[in-house]
Amino acid sequence: MQFMLLFSRQGKLRLQKWYVPLSDKEKKKITRELVQTVLARKPKMCSFLEWRDLKIVYKRYASLYFCCAIEDQDNELITLEIIHRYVELLDKYFGSVCELDIIFNFEKAYFILDEFLLGGEVQETSKKNVLKAIEQADLLQEVYNFCFFVKAHQHAGLIHIILFNFFQVAEKLFITFTI
């Protein structure tokens, strides 16, 4: 896969992941051309199209288009499955993902994509394993945020309550990592 773009029906870019080195100018040009091309297509048209020396595979889910560029020898149906798997992962994480989830939690959307794809290739086929890695990262973030909170409030006299909560989070984290 060369790149993946997520954009709205209004043509607003919501996520972009490039697996080939291109200048910002070239990325903007490609994005503009592809968004216009895909949005101009009728809903009943095929989700595959030839564009330049690449094949474009796209699928609309609710108000978002998921669009991937692949090389000529790559399989369009597998790419469609990759798009679908990514949407399933987003759905599992966000609980029926919508455009606002991507807008306000774009870092999570990128993180999920990075756990699933590496260098434009599927690195983990198991939804369970991808979601487990994301859950572990979320728990680590909770611990980090908690430690930062403790440091900021260490003189407030609430240390015993804070430490009790910390050990609850730490125990949850330990159980998750040992399973």
Report pLDDT digits (tens) over 57-111.
999 999 999 999 999 999 999 999 999 999 999 999 999 899 999 999 999 999 9
Collapse the DSSP code of 75 into the 3-class scheme (helix H, G, I; strand E, B; otherwise coil) and give the result: coil
Could you give the CA distance from residue 14 to residue 115 in angstroms, rounded to a whole number? 19
The residues spanned by each domain of the chain are 3-125, 135-177
> Percent of the chain at pLDDT above 90?
69
Pick left, alpha or beta for residue 62 (phi over 0 → left; psi -120 to 50 → alpha; otherwise beta). Answer: left
Amino acid at 153: H
| pTM confidence score | 0.80
pLDDT 10s digits, 131-157: 898 888 888 887 777 666 666 656 555
The proportion of the chain whose per-residue pLDDT surpasses 70, expressed as a percent, equals 80
Across the chain, mean pLDDT equals 87
Decide if 102 contacts 109 (C-beta within 8 A). Answer: yes
Q: What is residue 173's predicted lDDT score, i.e. its pLDDT?
A: 59
pLDDT at 148: 64
Whether 2 contacts 19, CB under 8 Å: yes
- Whole-Å CA distances, 56 to 6, 33, 38, 46, 72: 13, 12, 9, 11, 10
pLDDT of residue 166 exceeding 90, the answer is no
User: Looking at the domain that runs over 3-125, which CATH code has it been given?
Assistant: 3.30.450.60
More confident residue, 10 or 165: 10
